[in-house]
Amino acid sequence: MSDTDVTDIADVTVEVVTDPAAAAGIAEVAAATFPLACPPHASPADIDDFIATNLGESNFRAHIADPRADVLVARDGVGGPILGYALVMHTEPTHPDVCAVVTERPVSEVSKMYVLRDHHSRLGATPSHLLMGAALERARSHGSTLMWLGVNQLNARAQRFYTKMGFTRAGVKTFTLGESIEHDYVFTQRL
């Protein structure tokens, strides 16, 4: 199911996914977790449309097969249920707002990182911390010197987490969610 990159601390295991059969389970977690990060004014229809268009099983199968991407999962023990996932893209940014503030190359992006609500806070190692640690390591292994991500300006909890993990705010970008134009902060971390 995964290659040899595995982290196991306090019963949380992080794996790099190589088996496309895992895509269905990741898509289920994505559908459950994406709404948690959406701004309060986001409409349920826009959220559902985004999930259907971007976070389905076929999307994750494509990411797993893409050599420019790493799909990571945090599990409750080896082979256990998926608690969260991250998608790391080892490509140059294309969004003009991001290109204006992320000028260093090569770079990687934490495109997605979500953990089931009941596992945001755990005793010992949290899935979020382990996923981010693995994401940073994957970026380094691809030769990236900078990691970047976008986070909604209203998602204070995620911003605190990224700051705690060593990221700093570098700029802003827009993000389209259905009929709404959202404003995200761009966070970066030198690797």
Cα torsion 17, 106, 102, 163 to 10°: value is 50
CA nearest to 139, candidates 68, 37, 73: 68
Q: pLDDT band at residue 124, thresholds of 50, 70 and 90?
A: low
State residue 7's pLDDT score: 47
Would you say residue 173 lies in a domain? no
Would you say residue 191 lies in a domain? no
Would you say residue 156 lies in a domain? no
State residue 117's pLDDT score: 80
Q: How many domains does the chain have?
A: 1
Would you say residue 50 lies in a domain? yes
Q: pLDDT tens for residues 170-188?
A: 999 998 888 888 899 999 9
State residue 134's pLDDT score: 97
Domain of 89?
2-147
Residue 138 pLDDT exceeds 90: yes
Residues 6+ apart with CB under 8 A from 53: none
8 compared with 125, residue with greater pLDDT: 125
